[in-house]
Amino acid sequence: GQNIDQPTEMTATEGAIVQINCTYQTSGFNGLFWYQQHAGEAPTFLSYNVLDGLEEKGRFSSFLSRSKGYSYLLLKELQMKDSASYLCAPRGGGGGNKLTFGTGTQLKVEL
């Protein structure tokens, strides 16, 4: 089975940097994905890590440590539009290339 832990809520200031952590336990591990979901909308794919280290993509970066079962999403130069839920989703073993989604971290960006 899979177990995913993320903070429920975070608040940050516009222009600042925020780090959203995710710890996971999976039976088999084949990569970890981060998604952004605005209220009332479908999730959108942000980033993917399969090897240890940092992947940078513009204002968003994602880090993975497979030995620790740990990942984080780093958002820089926060904007009001970054207020959303951020979902951590490891891909485990087994058929179907399934992802298991955490319950998400609700980020609120304030002025």
Partner 1 sequence: SQTIHQWPATLVQPVGSPLSLECTVEGTSNPNLYWYRQAAGRGLQLLFYSVGIGQISSEVPQNLSASRPQDRQFILSSKKLLLSDSGFYLCAWSGQLYEQYFGPGTRLTVT
In the complex, the residues that contact partner 1 under the rule CB under 8 A are 30-31, 33, 41-45, 48, 87, 91, 95-104
- Measured from the CB of residue 53, what is the shortest distance to partner 1 in angstroms? 16
Nearest to 80 by CA among 48, 38, 40: 38
- Measured from the CB of residue 74, what is the shortest distance to partner 1 in angstroms? 19
Distances (CA, A) of 100 to 14, 33, 78, 88, 108: 30, 10, 27, 8, 24
- Measured from the CB of residue 104, what is the shortest distance to partner 1 in angstroms? 6
Which residue's CB is nearer to partner 1, number 69 or number 102? 102
Which residue's CB is nearer to partner 1, number 21 or number 100? 100
Residue 25 phi/psi, 5-degree rounding, is -130, 125
Which residue's CB is nearer to partner 1, number 15 or number 108? 108
- Measured from the CB of residue 65, what is the shortest distance to partner 1 in angstroms? 19
